[in-house]
Amino acid sequence: MSEYQDHIRQTLDGMDPEAHEEFSADEMRWTPAPDSAAPLRAAVTAAQAHALLDLATDAYLAVVNLLEDGTHHMVGCANTPDRTLTEGHELTVFGEIVTLDQDEALRLTVVLAAALVECSTGALVVRTFAPDGSEWVRGWTVRNRWLRPLTAQEIQRAYSTDPTGTPLPPEPGLEYRQAERVSRPETEAETRTVSARSTAPRDNRPPNRRN
């Protein structure tokens, strides 16, 4: 996965998020309702956009690393004050080999970055088709600029209604699973703190002269 992660990051470095303003609406059973009380969108600087894309890449790759052998349909959405963005793609996992369309993965990562903006909400849903024929679905919502796992009951409730709230009939053979916890990467502030502690000069004063 390291070579693919490097490719993702190098591609995002030269990527213009404005080039992906319009996304095709992939079929998705549910998208969370936008927060009507959300404040107006603040201007995002180039540095902030880069940081959000970097964080979204971390989130995307962390979820990919959780996937079992099989085919996976991954769909992400972002509800922003301007519009709802939805992007999805299919990938297969067999042991250490992950096969996917890199352009589609990048578009999904951009949607996740939009969901990470302070005044936005979003979600990521993965439906898995295992080699033995079993199927299950799990999902995460974006909370505090990271992915929060949905419980089996939450994903079942969300997957059983359409965007208008109309109930949908259950799908035979589909299992609803608790999503795994996705470890959040160390923030820049935390990194600076750890670095400062690790590089602090040793106190060579006698014990009775300290403090």
The residues near 149 (Cβ < 8 Å, ≥ 6 apart) are 138, 139, 140, 178, 179, 180, 181, 182
Higher pLDDT, residue 142 or 12? 142
Does residue 128 register a pLDDT over 80?
yes
Per-residue model confidence as pLDDT tens digits over 150-182: 999 999 988 888 778 788 888 889 999 999 999
Residue 170 domain-assigned?
yes
Residue 39 domain-assigned?
no
Q: Is 109 left (phi over 0), alpha (psi -120 to 50) or beta?
A: alpha
Burial (CB count <10 Å: 0-12, 13-18, 19+), residue 31 = buried
Look up tokens 């799990």; give the residue: 138
Cα–Cα distance list, 195 to 54, 185, 202 (Å): 21, 15, 14
Does residue 28 register a pLDDT over 80?
no
Residue 34 domain-assigned?
no
DSSP state of 36: T
Residue 206 domain-assigned?
no
* Predicted pLDDT at 96: 92
DSSP state of 101: -
Does residue 13 register a pLDDT over 50?
no
Does residue 23 register a pLDDT over 90?
no
Residue 197 domain-assigned?
no
Does residue 208 register a pLDDT over 90?
no
Phi, psi of 32 (to 5 degrees): -65, 145
What is the share, in percent, of the chain residues with pLDDT greater than 70? 67
Average pLDDT, the chain: 76
Residue 200 domain-assigned?
no
Cβ neighbours of 69 (radius 10 Å): 14
Residue 65 domain-assigned?
yes
Residue 50 domain-assigned?
yes
Number of domains forming the structure of the chain: 1
Question: In angstroms, rounded to a whole number, what is the distance separating the alpha carbons of residues 94 and 99?
Answer: 9
What is the share, in percent, of the chain residues with pLDDT greater than 90? 51
Residue 185: pLDDT band with limits 50, 70, 90 = confident
Which residues span the domain enclosing 82? 2-27+45-191
Cα–Cα distance list, 90 to 32, 51, 74, 118 (Å): 21, 26, 6, 28
Give which of 149, 155, 185, 191 is closest to 56, Cα–Cα: 185
